[in-house]
Amino acid sequence: MKKFDLIGKDMKRVDTASKATGEALFSGDLILPRMLVGKVLRSPYPHARIISIDTSKAEKLPGVKAVITAKDMSGDKWGVFKYTQDQQFLPTEKVRYVGEEVAAVAAVDEDTALEALSLIDVQYEPLPAVFTVDDALAPNAPLIHDVYPSNINIHVKIDVGDVEKGFSESFLVREDTFTAPEDSYFQGEPYAVAAQFDNAGNLEIWMPNAGPHLKAKPLSNVLKIPLNKVRVRKITIGGAFGGRSEIAPADVICAFLARKAKRPVKIIYTREENTVATRQAHAMVTTIKTGVDKEGHVVARDITCRMDGGAYSSTGPIAVSVPFLCMEQAYRMENIRYNGYRILTNKPIRGMFRTHGRAFACGVDTQLDMLGAELGIDPLTMRLRNARQTGDYTPTKSFVASCGMTETIIRTGEQSGWKEKFGKLPPFHGIGIGTNSVQTGFPMGIRGGSQAFIKLNEDGGITVITGIVDNGQGNDNMIVQIAAEELGISPDDVQLISADTEVTPSDPGSYSMCETFIGGNAVRLAAQDVKMKLFKIAAGEFGVGEDELTARDRKIFVTSNPEKSMNIAKAVRIALSRNESISGEGSYWPNVDAKREWVKNPYGQLSETFSFGTVIVEVKVDPETGQVEVIEAWAAQDVGYALNPKVIEGQFEGGFAMGGQGGMLSEFHQWHEGRVLNPTHLGYMVPLAIDMPKINNIIVETIDPNGPYGAKEAGMSVAMSAAQAYSGAISNAIGVYLKDFPLTPDIILKAIEGKGKREQ
């Protein structure tokens, strides 16, 4: 492969200093002249009819500048898709979960705003509520929305091959059910939004977001103003993980308050609100039936997954589909049936999530281990025999252009000493393996492609203008690194303007794991456009062909005679002296099937490329307490090409913490009649640095044919594979296959006790 100056090397992120010193500003840090404090009144009931709302006392309270209810809005309903538009940002008729927004105020300070909330009189008629999937599906269960019979919000059906024939031809068939409760994103930054209008009616708004353009359009719709009057501004963002991908009620409420008060307004959620009133991850019950041949190859698989979606659709069709898609991308199989149901309950809304379902992914891998045990085949070999390969088509007709799944399995196995450890460890010591895959982008309509502009300054520096957003994973650095590499300049020569809808072009956002592949390609092409224009000038000066030139060290030189060179700044000045300005434009549209649709047509090219990962963990379980100690971990992912290895290792470790250490040992919600009992860090146990084991990162490179320099998604496959590896390792340690996640001490002790009774 071509040698690069910046690409493929560890590089200090461009935002390191600002975040380390506290100079970086988040939405909650913004202070605008005459800014008001916004607060939201929330429903105390999981399901109730709104009889009346009286805001007169709140409006008369000194210091209150605006009060809004549903009557101040248009009554529009939000949904990511036309067929899922079911959520009003302030409801007119019913509330459907504890914590749903009912009214909001803007006041001169927080105390006044809170007092104003207490003066709003809302009369409710409580209605019967459902809190579990089984209750919601029961005959005569109360309907949460009249338009969804039996409370079934979304049904995704996929059927490929002949599943029944496959089972009949299988050597071994087993069926198991796996469960997991809701979990949360727990981003480091609680949700905060600041908004203001100018005298011309233009909205300027800041909030955590995965894609500013995906926020601007719904704001334009609900506010009934042209899109060019909505400016979603760039701001530092403290994590997303799938939870900040769509418009939020806080965004709309803050904008309406600012317009009514004619002053800037800022809403900052408490940690409790951040848990209840943004998004959570789905609880699910997954029944998996798998048939294999004598060698352990999967012959047929039938999966039914019932997901608790909470009160509204959110990203429902995508959320129901992605766990299945990750599985079909990871493993070869010809006969597959999937019925995914998203069921509505009177709980907070569920959305996309980094690990896409513990009961699904861990169920698939745990069952693979169970089948292997009956066949006398170890888990690593079972995965090798079923691993996806380059050049394959998935069951739903996606071509896999690059795949390092087998290499990730082999390398983690070798480095962890799998052969020496599996089946040979002391009692209550175990080792487990998990493998998974993630798509790099998927069809997103007119927002599916990315565009970038580059402007050259007369001193040879550049300004990159792109819609790419950085949620903390390092996308800003990726942009600078690519542009600087292409033009042969220093990262210090690059000024970045990103994620601002007023000045940056369209981009899908940091969503569906696509920014490096799609947005990075657009930036690379824009830089190449600039380079070709510079080369044209230099070629004329040197009397050589443009293909005989190289850009490096802020210079353009003749490749065969490096002493014949000129500074990029000189080339720019020559252009300006000719009344020419040099700028570049690049756009990239992924090769996906535009006719593919989540529910109506779940077939065709889903993503232009896919990542593949494997995690192995070694654990020790205390049989007296059920506590798990993770001794060491090995995490590998096929990233295509590692643009910045150190940043990628950070993504591996963050994904491992979320999917494995937290997601499988401690993170879950407890409930009482629709109310979250553990909405804060005191009760919801997010792992700390001190809790983490030693993680050995293994970067696998396959050089994707279409990614920028061969790069693709990096980090997500590790997150899901970690969850699966924990399940396998703990099951291996105690000699019992576990089916209910997370694997908390009580579940582990119950399994140990049950095994002891059976052995007696």
| One domain, residues 609 and 722 | yes
Q: Mean of the pLDDT values across residues 732-751? A: 97
Q: Is residue 183 part of a domain?
A: no
Beta-bridge partners for 569: none
Stated as kind and residue range, the H or E segment containing 196 is: strand 192-197
Q: Is the separation of the CB atoms in 307 and 342 below 8 Å?
A: yes
CB atoms closer than 10 angstroms to residue 240:
25
Q: Is residue 333 part of a domain?
A: yes
| One domain, residues 705 and 582 | no
CB atoms closer than 10 angstroms to residue 747:
16
Q: Mean of the pLDDT values across residues 70-95? A: 95
Report CA-CA distances (Å) from 689 to 46, 146, 254, 354, 654.
Answer: 36, 47, 35, 19, 10
Name the average pLDDT for the chain: 96
SS3 content of the chain, % helix, strand, coil (to 5): 35, 25, 40
Give one DSSP letter per residue of 436-462, joined into a string: EEEES----GGGSSEEEEEEE-TTS-E
pLDDT tops 70 at residue 1: no
Q: Mean of the pLDDT values across residues 404-420? A: 98
Q: Is the separation of the CB atoms in 385 and 330 below 8 Å?
A: no
Which residue among 588, 607, 623 closes a domain?
A: 588
Phi and psi at 58, nearest 5°, equal -65, -40
Q: Is residue 215 part of a domain?
A: yes
| One domain, residues 453 and 314 | no
Which residue among 567, 588, 609 closes a domain?
A: 588
Q: Mean of the pLDDT values across residues 357-386? A: 97
Report CA-CA distances (Å) from 156 to 14, 184, 306, 391, 616.
Answer: 42, 24, 11, 26, 32
Give one DSSP letter per residue of 514-527, joined into a string: -IIIIIHHHHHHHH
Q: Mean of the pLDDT values across residues 281-296? A: 98
Angle subtended by helix axes 716-734 and 645-656, to nearest 10: 40
| One domain, residues 535 and 655 | no
| One domain, residues 365 and 462 | no
Q: Is residue 148 part of a domain?
A: no
Q: Is residue 181 part of a domain?
A: no
Residue 661 DSSP label: I
* Neighbouring C-alpha atoms within 13 Å toward the C-beta of 46: 20
* 2-35 pLDDT, tens digit each: 789 999 999 999 999 999 999 999 999 999 999 9
| One domain, residues 75 and 214 | yes
| One domain, residues 387 and 502 | no
Angle at 423 between CA 422 and CA 429, to 5 degrees: 80
Q: Mean of the pLDDT values across residues 275-294? A: 97
Strand ranges for 670-757 from DSSP E: 671-672, 675-676, 694-700
Q: Is residue 6 part of a domain?
A: no
Q: Which domain holds residue 499?
A: 16-22+444-588
CB atoms closer than 10 angstroms to residue 263:
19
pLDDT in the model for residue 180: 97
| One domain, residues 461 and 357 | no
Question: What 3-state class would DSSP assign to 535?
Answer: helix
| One domain, residues 355 and 476 | no
Q: Is the separation of the CB atoms in 89 and 222 below 8 Å?
A: yes
Give one DSSP letter per residue of 338-359, joined into a string: EEEEEE--SS--B---TT--HH
Q: In which band, very low, low, confident or very high, does the pLDDT at 446 lie, cut at 50, 70 and 90? A: confident
CA dihedral of 445, 448, 449, 452, whole degrees rounded to 10: 110
Q: What is the CATH number of the domain that holds 535?
A: 3.30.365.10
Which one, of 395, 23, 76, lies nearest residue 256 by Cα? 76
Q: Mean of the pLDDT values across residues 379-395? A: 98
Stated as kind and residue range, the H or E segment containing 493 is: none
Q: Is the separation of the CB atoms in 347 and 310 below 8 Å?
A: yes
Q: Is residue 3 part of a domain?
A: no
CB atoms closer than 10 angstroms to residue 506:
17
Question: What 3-state class would DSSP assign to 693?
Answer: coil
Give one DSSP letter per residue of 210-244, joined into a string: S-HHHHHHHHHHHHT--GGGEEEPP-B----TTTT
Question: What 3-state class would DSSP assign to 151?
Answer: helix
Q: First-to-last CA distance in the chain?
A: 62
Number of domains in the chain: 3
Please name the residues in contact with 12: beta carbons below 8 A apart, sequence gap of 6 or more.
none
Q: Mean of the pLDDT values across residues 185-203? A: 96
Say if residue 147 is exposed, middle or buried (CB neighbours under 10 Å; 0-12, 13-18, 19+): exposed
* 567-617 pLDDT, tens digit each: 999 999 999 999 988 999 999 999 999 999 999 999 999 999 999 999 999
pLDDT tops 90 at residue 121: yes
Which residue among 571, 588, 605 closes a domain?
A: 588
Q: Is residue 149 part of a domain?
A: no
How remote is the C-alpha of 613 from its chain's centroid? 16
How remote is the C-alpha of 246 from its chain's centroid? 11
* Neighbouring C-alpha atoms within 13 Å toward the C-beta of 519: 32
Q: Mean of the pLDDT values across residues 338-362? A: 94
| One domain, residues 357 and 450 | no
- pTM score: 0.96
Which one, of 729, 664, 674, 543, lies nearest residue 95 by Cα? 674
> Which stretches of 471-515 are DSSP H helices?
475-487
Q: Is the separation of the CB atoms in 418 and 533 below 8 Å?
A: no
* 515-541 pLDDT, tens digit each: 999 999 999 999 999 999 999 999 999
d(CA 446, CA 508): 9
Q: What is the CATH number of the domain that holds 107?
A: 3.90.1170.50
d(CA 676, CA 665): 19
| One domain, residues 81 and 199 | yes
| One domain, residues 384 and 490 | no
pLDDT in the model for residue 133: 97
